Structure 1
Amino acid sequence: MNKVLLLYPSFLNMEEKIKKTLYTDLPLSIITLSAQLVNQGYEVEVIDQCLEDFEYRSLEKKLNGCFLVGISAITSYQIINGLKFAGMIKQYNKSIKIVWGGWHASLMPEQTIHHENVDIVIKGPGEEQIVDVADCIKNRRSLNYVPNIYFKTPDGEIKKTQEKIYDTFQLKNNITDGYKTVDVERYVHAQWGNQRVLGYESSRGCCCQCKFCSIGSLYHGKWYGLPAEDVCHDISYLKRCHKIDAVHFFDNNFFVNKNRALEIAKLFKENKLGIRWDGTIIVQQFLLYKPKEIEFLIESGLYRIIAGIESGDQDVLKKINKHHKNEQVIECVRRCKEYGLLPSFSFMVGFPWDPEEDTKRTLELASKLRSIHPETEILMFIFSPYLGTPLYETAVAYGMSFPDTLEGWAKFTYEKANTPWLSKKLCKKINRYLTFFGTINQSEKEKEFFNKFHQLL
């Protein structure tokens, strides 16, 4: 037996008649794992439930020769769908080991490992661990020496192994090997004025310690980036083999290393890739780039920057450890308009301290940004606290209760109001703006209504 099956569960509640989700790109969390496994001689099959569902009958064929199943999920309906899949695995063959990873399992490993359909949990990035786990299970060796995992012994005892903090990106084998394990053409899509866009991850982590964000705690305040030469090599491969005209960097903070960002741009130009690209940035970082540097980035293909603004309320920004000022955000948008860049900004509303006021100020700022640069992309979300963040304890202090089961967390999603300090009136107002700013899909009649509504503010 030499086969590993990797599942990326659907984000949708299968009981609801919803056909679209905000997540439509490559399952990079799975692809990076498959890249490591195939280079160690394992047969890997990837199932992306976001693209296709499966029945038990078809699953039997996929499990032929399989000894390990990996499931990656964030806090969402991915959990329920992953558990259903794991239950089907156990029904077919209880000896097949099921390992969970991804954001939710990493933030809540102890609760996750206690579920009957979970045998092993990998905490944090799992590219190195997944190979070690596969080797141990296949060769019947102990898992005691694989770092950063939780596992169940044959007699049901739960064990936690030694924690290890990595200083570099864990990718031992090139991520493009993972792209070869999926039908890439199914993920190529048109967006942001491009016709053939694909996602790619060149770095992970963030040096900032925002109190609402779990990235800092999961990566211990570290940032890891692939060398510029490797990034250029990979994007060249995607251009050559899949004819892409744009790449979307799914990095947590692409521009944190200015020299690397400029070197990537230089290599894109020297190799005449002709690729449009975007990346995440902190407002203060963008303002530190000199005009010639911005022009150089644009010449290499940069057309869009992505930033988490979070709030228009300065008191809230201070409490969540975001250090920019509203004036800097406004200046950032002005420069984007000047240079022809598309700014994409995300916001959160409904923090516990004064949700009415922070929502008001945030909506005012978002509206002002749109008035300066009408093409500004605004994504508005309701604040949802997570374990592993300082604001979790704050939320508890303000009366919030959290699920005590793995299934319970499935309904804890960022587009729904799970917070008790939000009034029904405020929730209704927020949901109107979630639709207006495009976070929730809207019909043509809704667009017409909210355009009129917006003009009255």
Structure 2
Amino acid sequence: MTPKVLIFNPRSANSKHRIPNSILQVGASIHGIYDYVFVDGNLEKDPWLKLKTFFTSGRIKYFCITVMPGPQLKQAIPFSKRIKELFPKTMVIWGGYFASNQYKVSLDSGFVDYIVNGPGDHAFPRLLDCLESGEFHKLETIQNLIYKASHKIIKTAKEPLLDQDALPPLPYEYLNTFYPLEHYLGKTFLGKKTFAYHSSFGCPFTCSFCAVVPIYNARWKGKSAKTMYDDISYFKKNYGIDAIEFHDNNFFTSRKRVVEFSKLILNDGISWWGEGRIDTINQYSDDDLILMRKAGCKMIFLGAETGNDEVLKQMDKGGQQTGQMIKDFAVRMKRIGIIPEMSFVLGLPADSKDKVMDQIDMDIEFIRNIKALNPDTEIIIYLYSPVPTEGSELYQQIVAAGFTFPKHLEAWISPDWEHFDLRKNPLTPWLTPSMVDKIKNFETVLNGYYPTVSDFRLRGLKRKIIKQLSAFRYKNNLYACPYEIKLLQKLWKYRQPEIEGFYLE
């Protein structure tokens, strides 16, 4: 084999045991057409050494990276730059949310040549065909592509989402020749061998704070329940999986598909988790939800965001979700027996800093109300990090408040910006240090009094001790300087699933 294409998955904070669906999708698009190799930065002690070994062979012409915001940038940016410096004839091709949303700064860097803007099932092989043939005039006809020509950025038309069942199968067994698939089946609270799976692309909604919106433009396409079940059955038979994380942007978009899938997997003894919207799943019947629970649905990640109806409208949450619906849904999930994992976005801009703080206080009280209604509700707290959803009211507001993204690509891996897209430490001008401290201190106390069920190492006496230690603070709204709780969380390596995922080393 003389590979021309190297497909690289940069190291992420919580992906060592997560099968890299993004690079598998890239590989599937050229499988049998171009020879290619995989390098997974999560499973390499020294990814750069592995990359350099391939490139010094003189055969690699295309360096292709899936680039998500956050930790992946720490390898994607410097490695792309070094490849371009050492092997200047190499074409560097980026895909992923970061590349699509921050395409200008990426292309202006001088070491990113092309960006696949969204799904690359057609765009990627067609791009390689043009580059191989030298027919550069055809680049403008390739949908889902962004590149520079004569110092001008060209952004081609968006391609309709494809029939997911008609796409070629992911090359799992080819990946297995580079990295044994068992490495990707880690232990989580869901099961001993948890399999990460994508069953759909896109989302039919236009939330103004979501990075998916500019890429998919309110479009969604999913695999059929039968195709999903066939894939999962293959991994159960050959690798003994007993749990699934569905990493779709919105797994529950189609009720019919979810119900059909639940019936298929009902007796397979597989637990699963997925992401959805409260106003969508709230339209499911109790019988639907009970079926899902019996079929292994253990927890659902849900964007609650806030209890303030006006802010929900500002976020473009579809005009249906309300604070009362969120509370009612928490109660309903308690009765059904599925754990709701609700995320909240605190620290949105407002007309004044006093209004920002008032909204933070309201959200904290609303979270406490949710916990009172259903103590099993998992709470995920994010600080609002802007995304370039140009044209939305929220984006106009953040620009007016003085927020700007970095003008140079390498600034994204500076200490100030490194954790921006983890939505834990945003550089937003309307948030003061005292506001950030209040949110983080509340989060510490909340996680002490209600430790996440996903950290199954924290149980028995440890769980009892940290809960009792936090009780006085939580019950009396005393959040400042919770050093004793932080000490125990550090000592016992408390895991926050939104940062570290469900997998344990």
TM-score computed with the length of structure 1 as normaliser? 0.88
Q: Give the aligned partner of residue 116 of structure 1.
A: 110
Is the contact between residue 73 and residue 102 of structure 1 (CA under 8 Å) also seen in structure 2? Answer: yes
Q: CA deviation at 1:72?
A: 1.5
Secondary structure of the structure 1 residue equivalent to 2:193: strand
Which whole-Å CA distance do the structure 1 matches of 2:37 and 2:263 have between them?
36
Q: Give the aligned partner of residue 33 of structure 2.
A: 40
Deviations 1:392-428 (A, max 9, x none): 2210112223211112234132111311111221111
Which of 22, 26, 49 matches 1:29?
22
2:249 equivalent to 1:252: yes
Q: CA deviation at 1:447?
A: 6.8
Matches within 5 A, 1:365-444: 365-389=366-390, 390=392, 391-410=394-413, 411=417, 412-413=420-421, 414-437=423-446
Amino acid at match of 1:261: V
Q: Give the aligned partner of residue 308 of structure 1.
A: 303
How has the CA–CA distance of structure 1 residues 110 and 423 changed in structure 2, closer, same or farther, with 3 Å as cutoff? Answer: closer
Which whole-Å CA distance do the structure 2 matches of 1:69 and 1:192 have between them?
36
Displaced runs of 4 or more, over 6 A: 439-448
Is the contact between residue 333 and residue 339 of structure 2 (CA under 8 Å) also seen in structure 1? Answer: yes
Which whole-Å CA distance do the structure 2 matches of 1:447 and 1:70 have between them?
47
Secondary structure of the structure 2 residue equivalent to 1:195: coil
Q: Give the aligned partner of residue 53 of structure 2.
A: 61
Q: Give the aligned partner of residue 16 of structure 1.
A: none
Amino acid at match of 1:425: S
Is the contact between residue 351 and residue 383 of structure 1 (CA under 8 Å) also seen in structure 2? Answer: yes
Q: CA deviation at 1:169?
A: 4.5
How has the CA–CA distance of structure 1 residues 218 and 437 changed in structure 2, closer, same or farther, with 3 Å as cutoff? Answer: farther
2:42 equivalent to 1:50: yes
Secondary structure of the structure 1 residue equivalent to 2:84: helix
Q: CA deviation at 1:383?
A: 0.4
- Unmatched 5+ stretches in structure 1: 12-19
Q: CA deviation at 1:449?
A: 5.3
- Unmatched 5+ stretches in structure 2: 478-505
Corresponding pairs, count: 444
2:291 equivalent to 1:299: no
Which whole-Å CA distance do the structure 1 matches of 2:265 and 2:408 have between them?
47
Q: Give the aligned partner of residue 488 of structure 2.
A: none
How has the CA–CA distance of structure 1 residues 118 and 321 changed in structure 2, closer, same or farther, with 3 Å as cutoff? Answer: same
Which whole-Å CA distance do the structure 1 matches of 2:466 and 2:410 have between them?
34
How has the CA–CA distance of structure 1 residues 231 and 147 changed in structure 2, closer, same or farther, with 3 Å as cutoff? Answer: same
Q: Give the aligned partner of residue 227 of structure 1.
A: 224
Secondary structure of the structure 2 residue equivalent to 1:288: coil
Q: CA deviation at 1:437?
A: 4.8
Matches within 5 A, 1:321-400: 321-322=316-317, 323-353=320-350, 354-389=355-390, 390=392, 391-400=394-403
Deviations 1:102-126 (A, max 9, x none): 1111112222112121111111222
Deviations 1:55-88 (A, max 9, x none): 6544332223211111111232422421211123
Secondary structure of the structure 1 residue equivalent to 2:428: coil
How has the CA–CA distance of structure 1 residues 80 and 318 changed in structure 2, closer, same or farther, with 3 Å as cutoff? Answer: same
Secondary structure of the structure 1 residue equivalent to 2:42: coil
2:143 equivalent to 1:147: yes
Secondary structure of the structure 2 residue equivalent to 1:254: coil
Q: CA deviation at 1:163?
A: 0.9
Deviates more, 1:175-184 or 1:388-397: 175-184
How has the CA–CA distance of structure 1 residues 449 and 115 changed in structure 2, closer, same or farther, with 3 Å as cutoff? Answer: farther
Which of 56, 65, 69 matches 1:71?
65
Which whole-Å CA distance do the structure 1 matches of 2:288 and 2:48 have between them?
55
2:169 equivalent to 1:174: yes
Secondary structure of the structure 2 residue equivalent to 1:204: strand
Matches within 5 A, 1:232-243: 232-243=229-240
How has the CA–CA distance of structure 1 residues 44 and 98 changed in structure 2, closer, same or farther, with 3 Å as cutoff? Answer: same
Q: Give the aligned partner of residue 17 of structure 1.
A: none
Which whole-Å CA distance do the structure 2 matches of 1:380 and 1:300 have between them?
29
Which whole-Å CA distance do the structure 2 matches of 1:335 and 1:384 have between them?
30
Q: Give the aligned partner of residue 9 of structure 1.
A: 10
How has the CA–CA distance of structure 1 residues 243 and 314 changed in structure 2, closer, same or farther, with 3 Å as cutoff? Answer: same
How has the CA–CA distance of structure 1 residues 129 and 182 changed in structure 2, closer, same or farther, with 3 Å as cutoff? Answer: farther
Aligned-residue identity in percent: 26
How has the CA–CA distance of structure 1 residues 60 and 385 changed in structure 2, closer, same or farther, with 3 Å as cutoff? Answer: closer
Q: CA deviation at 1:23?
A: 8.2
Which whole-Å CA distance do the structure 1 matches of 2:446 and 2:25 have between them?
33
Which whole-Å CA distance do the structure 1 matches of 2:47 and 2:326 have between them?
49
Q: Give the aligned partner of residue 475 of structure 2.
A: 455
How has the CA–CA distance of structure 1 residues 41 and 404 changed in structure 2, closer, same or farther, with 3 Å as cutoff? Answer: closer
Is the contact between residue 277 and residue 304 of structure 1 (CA under 8 Å) also seen in structure 2? Answer: yes
Secondary structure of the structure 2 residue equivalent to 1:98: strand
Matches within 5 A, 1:260-299: 260-269=257-266, 272-299=267-294
Which whole-Å CA distance do the structure 2 matches of 1:114 and 1:50 have between them?
28
Amino acid at match of 1:230: T
Deviates more, 1:427-436 or 1:437-446: 437-446
Which whole-Å CA distance do the structure 2 matches of 1:83 and 1:306 have between them?
30
Amino acid at match of 2:340: P
Q: CA deviation at 1:231?
A: 0.8
Q: CA deviation at 1:375?
A: 2.4
Matches within 5 A, 1:146-225: 146-152=142-148, 157-158=151-152, 160=154, 162-169=156-163, 172-175=167-170, 177=172, 180=176, 182-225=179-222
Amino acid at match of 1:430: I
Q: CA deviation at 1:455?
A: 2.2
Q: Give the aligned partner of residue 14 of structure 1.
A: none
Which of 126, 129, 137 matches 1:132?
126
How has the CA–CA distance of structure 1 residues 452 and 188 changed in structure 2, closer, same or farther, with 3 Å as cutoff? Answer: farther
Which whole-Å CA distance do the structure 1 matches of 2:218 and 2:148 have between them?
30
Which whole-Å CA distance do the structure 1 matches of 2:47 and 2:193 have between them?
31
Amino acid at match of 2:62: L
